Chain A
Amino acid sequence: MLGLNKNDLTLLAIVAVLTLFAPFILNPFPADSAMAQFNAGYPDLMQRFIIFGIFAIGFNILFGLTGYLSFGHAAFLGVGSYAAVWMFKLLSYNVVPAIGLAIIVAGLFSVLIGYVSLRRSGIYFSILTLAFAQMSFALAYSVLSNPKFNLTNGETGLQVYKNDPQIFHGENMQDFPHFFGIYMNSTHTMNFGAWSFDFNAGYYLCAIVMILAFYLSIRIFRSPFGMMLRAIKSNQTRMSYTGLNPRPHTLAAFVISGMYAGLAGGLMAAMDPLAGAERMQWTASGEVVLMTILGGTGTLIGPVLGAGFIKYFENIFSKINDTILHQWFAFLPDGIEDFVVFIIHPFIGKGWHLTLGILFMLVVVFLPGGLVEGGQRLGKWIKSRGKSDDSSATTEPAE
């Protein structure tokens, strides 16, 4: 069905179910219980999961398949955001043209950058993309925001003002992005016993877009084109000896991943109609690299897992403070309790990046395949344990 084999279809179905029922799944604790702070089912955070998931899926098409490590992908996300906000400013708050233009502009921008950067490979490619991204950041932050030609509104960030044209903006419309009248911030809260679940229109728009994006990425992975991209990663020389020119394929992969980033940027602007230059900084590009690696490079589900993992723990870790830690370790004797809290303290709250850095290093060193590889190893280990219980009596024949 849908041109997928059985395994991929199951995977797609799992992802679809998980995203569509996320408001339930991410809110396992009653609203006023002590554990409620671990709930992640509120719209703002769920939107971030999905948007960064899309961003990472796109990045993975480039890095996972072709092995070209780009350190400048945030530039496309930023460009997408700016394009979307400009659509809000000029036409109306409808998200469809905004997201459409975001994808197109990011695509064009990535053709430009990709054409130049892909003339080199390896470390040079990484540094070229890094240089381009920093340049775009500088352009957006200061150069393109002078009074004569204000494209980005500099430090303040681009936003919609009352005196903007908005030619299709209706008389009695609210000033917030909408999908043909459905406002992105409209939330239906369902109370079910002690639990409360939020169903947010913006989240569901993102979710549907992500399922489509994920489906597209499965199709790319399984297509002859995807095979070509893998060939580029494994041996480019051999590929050119067989009479295939790797460059157009790599460029296509680069543009596709740039468009995914633009889509993520457009959605980001649709959820909150504001675009700032800091989205383009190279640390933001680093973040998507972290997500992809942490989840599992070159796997379908990995980037989504990585994005969810990082965004979830970023949110949770930043909320934990010393008081909460003291509550958790209250069962320990006083001295030891203080000591444990003292040891953990640097890693929580504002120290989340420290935890992330350490985690990331551990993953790169010990688990190059990321969470997906970890899961597979765990699965194999459990299987082999099960087997060895059955066949513990039989002895291996000598070689």
Chain B
Amino acid sequence: MDALILQILNGLDKGSAYALIALGLTLIFGTLGVVNFAHGALFMIGAFCAVSLSKLLKFSYVTIDETQKDFLGNPLKVETPYVESWFGPELGASIIDWSVPLSILLAIPVMILVGLIMERGLIKHFYKREHADQILVTFGLAIVLQEIVKYYFGANPIQTPPPDALMGVSNLGAWFGLDLPYPNWRIVYFCFAALVIAGVFSFLQFTTFGMVVRAGMADRETVGLLGIDIDKRFTVMFAIAACVAGLAGVMYAPINPPNYHMGMDFLVLSFVVVVVGGMGSLPGAVLAGFMLGILESFASTTWATTTLPGINQIIIYLVAIIVLLTRPRGLMGRKGVMEE
């Protein structure tokens, strides 16, 4: 029983990342009808927002402290981050400590900007062209983005620890008499993902803007005929989708040290998630994301890997192939989306 719940919990953090990326992909696909192969790169840029902020905060100046000696007997060089000298040592240190959650504040404007530039500058010109062309140009863009990141940050993964307070492991099941050790940051990640998903859905459901967007997703032409500039709203939705992917990346940085190709790694799986969930269905994408995450975690148990070696590596693809062949529209796909 304990082991079962633990596996479900283990699947949740990866599942949250899949769900967030797939949600953004579906938003873009449902609104603009564009297949965005650069979405993984947006996730990666988000993660590198966290990396750059923590680097920026640690920017420091060197003073020589005459009262202390290092092991060679020379005066000790003390590095003091600027943040500590501005806000005082205690507040400064805790700002540095909390750099990952703080990066959210940096990531939101950055991702919105990146999203707007991408949509206005490139993707706008590809609405009328074939899906193959859209795939190709965004694939090219993904290569460019990841190479730029590689140029500035190097090819090695960069450790970005979570705040000390959220480090460790806590026993989730203590109240119920179960033994469920689970890392704190993963709980944070799951809650954060749930919050973002809820935010996106309520934005679409309860605001006028969201209502117009949903109407546009259902019938773009009619909404245009009603005198609404639907293109502008879809551009905003692209920025929001980019932002969702970026936020997923920011908070994922402590779980998996960011490297330049993490976007590509997640992209392939997120596409599989979107297809399993059903192209163009937002709840489908979220559901499939969590489902496949949990499935993957079950397949990684020792029991599964000893019976069928390597099953954890291929389970997602297997499920995707089976789903596509038996339910071609995916779990919750709508009729008429992406059908020739």
What is the interface of chain A, defined by CB distance below 8 A to chain B? Answer: 67, 69, 116, 119-124, 126-128, 130-132, 134-135, 138-139, 141-144, 146, 236-237, 282-283, 286, 289, 293, 346, 351, 353-354, 356-358, 360-361, 364-365, 368
Contact = CB atoms under 8 A, between A and B. Distances in A.
B328 interface: yes
Nearest to A149: B309
Interface stretch (B139-147, B231-239, B251-259): B139-147
B110 interface: no
Contact of B275 (A124, A289, A354, A368): A124
Interface residues of B, number: 37
Contacts of B141: 357, 361
Contacts of B268: 130-131, 134, 282
A354 B143 CA distance: 7
Contact of B132 (A69, A135, A236): A69
B137 A365 contact: yes
B320 interface: yes
The 3 closest A-B pairs by CB, nearest first: A143-B310, A357-B143, A138-B313
17 contacts: A67-B132, A121-B340, A123-B338, A124-B279, A131-B317, A134-B317, A135-B317, A139-B313, A146-B309, A237-B340, A351-B147, A354-B143, A357-B140, A360-B140, A361-B144, A364-B133, A364-B136
Contact of B321 (A67, A116, A121, A282): A116
B55 interface: no
A361 B143 CA distance: 10
Interface in B281-336: 309-310, 313-314, 317-318, 320-321, 324-325, 328
Contacts of A360: 136, 139-140, 143
Contact of B314 (A121, A130, A139): A139
Given A141-B313, A351-B151, 12 more contacts: A124-B338, A132-B317, A134-B317, A135-B317, A142-B309, A289-B139, A293-B136, A354-B148, A354-B151, A357-B141, A358-B140, A364-B140
Interface in B114-147: 122, 125, 131-133, 135-137, 139-144, 147
A interface secondary structure, majority: helix
Contact of B324 (A122, A128, A364): A128
A289 B318 CA distance: 24
Contacts of A130: 268, 271
Contacts of A120: 324, 328
A357 B151 contact: no
Contact of B325 (A119, A123, A139, A361): A119
A119 B131 CA distance: 18
Most buried by B among A134, A356, A364: A364
Contacts of A146: 309-310
Given A346-B151, A354-B144, A127 B136 contact: no
A289 B143 contact: no
Given A134-B268, A143-B309, A122 B131 contact: yes
A354 B147 contact: yes
Nearest to A143: B310
B272 interface: yes
A139 B315 CA distance: 11
Contacts of A144: 310
